[in-house]
Amino acid sequence: MTIDEVVAIVDQGLFVVIKVAAPVLLISMAVGLIVSIFQTVTSIQEQTLTFVPKVLAIFMTIMLIGHWMLTEMVNLMTTLWSDFSLYVK
Protein backbone atom coordinates (compact mmCIF):
# COMPACT_ATOMS: atom_id res chain seq x y z
CA MET A 1 0.00 0.00 0.00
CA THR A 2 1.54 3.26 -1.10
CA ILE A 3 1.32 6.69 0.43
CA ASP A 4 -0.90 7.83 -2.44
CA GLU A 5 -3.45 5.12 -1.66
CA VAL A 6 -3.50 6.09 2.01
CA VAL A 7 -3.94 9.75 1.12
CA ALA A 8 -6.79 8.83 -1.23
CA ILE A 9 -8.56 6.87 1.53
CA VAL A 10 -8.12 9.70 4.03
CA ASP A 11 -9.31 12.20 1.44
CA GLN A 12 -12.39 10.11 0.72
CA GLY A 13 -13.14 9.75 4.44
CA LEU A 14 -12.73 13.45 5.19
CA PHE A 15 -14.94 14.37 2.25
CA VAL A 16 -17.72 12.12 3.55
CA VAL A 17 -17.36 13.57 7.06
CA ILE A 18 -17.63 17.13 5.74
CA LYS A 19 -20.52 16.24 3.43
CA VAL A 20 -22.47 14.53 6.23
CA ALA A 21 -21.78 17.13 8.93
CA ALA A 22 -22.32 20.26 6.81
CA PRO A 23 -26.16 20.30 6.74
CA VAL A 24 -26.45 19.91 10.52
CA LEU A 25 -23.81 22.57 11.15
CA LEU A 26 -25.38 25.01 8.69
CA ILE A 27 -28.84 24.59 10.22
CA SER A 28 -27.42 25.06 13.70
CA MET A 29 -25.58 28.19 12.61
CA ALA A 30 -28.67 29.62 10.91
CA VAL A 31 -30.88 29.00 13.94
CA GLY A 32 -28.24 30.53 16.21
CA LEU A 33 -28.08 33.61 14.00
CA ILE A 34 -31.87 33.98 13.94
CA VAL A 35 -32.14 33.63 17.71
CA SER A 36 -29.25 36.07 18.16
CA ILE A 37 -30.99 38.65 15.98
CA PHE A 38 -34.21 38.08 17.94
CA GLN A 39 -32.33 38.61 21.21
CA THR A 40 -30.76 41.80 19.92
CA VAL A 41 -34.07 43.22 18.71
CA THR A 42 -35.95 42.41 21.91
CA SER A 43 -33.02 43.15 24.27
CA ILE A 44 -33.31 39.73 25.88
CA GLN A 45 -29.90 38.74 27.22
CA GLU A 46 -30.66 35.15 28.24
CA GLN A 47 -27.74 32.93 27.22
CA THR A 48 -29.69 29.68 27.43
CA LEU A 49 -32.35 30.85 24.97
CA THR A 50 -30.40 29.59 21.95
CA PHE A 51 -30.04 26.06 23.32
CA VAL A 52 -33.58 24.72 22.87
CA PRO A 53 -34.19 26.03 19.31
CA LYS A 54 -30.80 24.70 18.19
CA VAL A 55 -31.43 21.26 19.68
CA LEU A 56 -34.88 21.10 18.08
CA ALA A 57 -33.51 22.24 14.71
CA ILE A 58 -30.68 19.71 14.82
CA PHE A 59 -33.10 16.95 15.82
CA MET A 60 -35.45 17.81 12.95
CA THR A 61 -32.54 17.99 10.49
CA ILE A 62 -31.29 14.57 11.53
CA MET A 63 -34.83 13.19 11.26
CA LEU A 64 -35.20 14.58 7.74
CA ILE A 65 -31.79 13.75 6.26
CA GLY A 66 -30.55 11.05 8.64
CA HIS A 67 -31.22 8.32 6.10
CA TRP A 68 -29.06 10.07 3.53
CA MET A 69 -26.31 10.64 6.10
CA LEU A 70 -26.28 6.98 7.11
CA THR A 71 -26.33 5.86 3.46
CA GLU A 72 -23.27 7.99 2.69
CA MET A 73 -21.35 6.53 5.64
CA VAL A 74 -22.38 2.96 4.79
CA ASN A 75 -21.31 3.47 1.17
CA LEU A 76 -17.87 4.62 2.31
CA MET A 77 -17.47 1.66 4.64
CA THR A 78 -18.70 -0.76 1.98
CA THR A 79 -16.14 0.63 -0.46
CA LEU A 80 -13.35 0.37 2.09
CA TRP A 81 -14.21 -3.19 3.12
CA SER A 82 -14.72 -4.40 -0.44
CA ASP A 83 -11.22 -3.15 -1.34
CA PHE A 84 -9.66 -4.57 1.83
CA SER A 85 -7.74 -7.26 -0.04
CA LEU A 86 -6.04 -4.55 -2.09
CA TYR A 87 -4.83 -2.77 1.04
CA VAL A 88 -3.19 -5.83 2.62
CA LYS A 89 -0.23 -6.91 0.55
Span 31-85, pLDDT tens digits: 999 999 999 899 888 878 889 999 999 999 999 999 999 999 999 999 999 988 8
Q: How many residues does the chain have?
A: 89
For the chain, the first-to-last Cα distance in angstroms comes to: 7
Grade residue 1 by pLDDT with cuts at 50, 70 and 90: confident
Kindly tell me the sign of the dihedral angle through the C-alpha atoms of 47, 53, 54, 55: positive
* DSSP state string for 17-70: HHHHHHHHHHHHHHHHHHHHHHHHHHT---GGGGHHHHHHHHHHHHHHHHHHHH
Contact 39, 45 (CB under 8 A): yes
